Amino acid sequence: MTPSDALNQCDTGISLLGGGGHALVVADSLLSAGRSVAGFFDDADDAAIGTPGLSGQCVPSKLGDLESLTARSLAGKPWLVCLGDLKLRRGLIDRLYAAEEDAASVVHPNAIVSEQAVIAGGVFVGPGAVINARARVLDHAIINSGAIVEHDCLIAENAHIAPGAVLGGNVKVGNDTLVGLGSRVLPGVSIGRGCTVGAGTVVLKDLPDGATAVGVW
């Protein structure tokens, strides 16, 4: 049975691309929001697809199957990239966009998202996250558990705001940048593309593309 055939047997739900810890968190959020998982794609035999409570309601397939991706291989179902590694995510995202598939966004019901915020496609917002007024979260970004994205922030494509990170008002975070666990970014600071902000870092000033910041920057 092809992945497409398997997914066609599920009438609703979202296809999760990845089956590790992050995929489990996303799946929990989906289920909490009363939505369903159409299937997982992952190469590991012991991935989340074997987790009690999830098995039976979703279809496991290999991530490698996406190598031969066509517009039909996800059976027209919305998908969400659920790998934590930003480079792996970027590869899948580019491939799926080329196939013009639709990305879904998942927001945990216990997240607080301002009516004035904008959330693009393929975004995950975890439990306890806060996204305040006029913030914009672009495609495939992750706002992880308990992260705070203050008013007027711009989170670019495939950026990851890790659990417990706090961004003051008007902060900009570039494409493919990781803002690590529990870090703090002062209001108005711009962080470039492809940056890494280490866990617990306090960012006081702008960070250029590709830079790494640790401690107090």
By the criterion CB under 6 A, which residues form the site for ligand JB3?
Answer: 18-23, 42-44, 47, 63, 83-85, 88, 144, 163
Question: CA 190 to CA 205: how far, in whole Å?
Answer: 8
- The nearest distance, CB 85 to ligand JB3, in angstroms, is 6
Question: Which sequence positions are flagged as catalytic?
Answer: 151
- When the beta carbons of 18 and 194 are compared against ligand JB3, the nearer one is 18
Question: CA 211 to CA 78: how far, in whole Å?
Answer: 34
- The nearest distance, CB 2 to ligand JB3, in angstroms, is 19
SS3 82: coil
Contacts of 93 (CB under 8 A, 6+ apart): 81, 122, 139, 140, 157, 158
- The nearest distance, CB 18 to ligand JB3, in angstroms, is 5
Q: How many CA atoms lie within 13 A of 111 on its CB side?
A: 32
143 in the Ramachandran plot: left (φ > 0), alpha (ψ -120 to 50) or beta? beta
Question: CA 126 to CA 114: how far, in whole Å?
Answer: 15
SS3 72: coil
- When the beta carbons of 13 and 146 are compared against ligand JB3, the nearer one is 146
- When the beta carbons of 63 and 189 are compared against ligand JB3, the nearer one is 63
- The nearest distance, CB 11 to ligand JB3, in angstroms, is 26
User: Which among 1, 10, 33 is positioned nearest to 124, based on CA atoms?
Assistant: 33
- When the beta carbons of 60 and 192 are compared against ligand JB3, the nearer one is 60
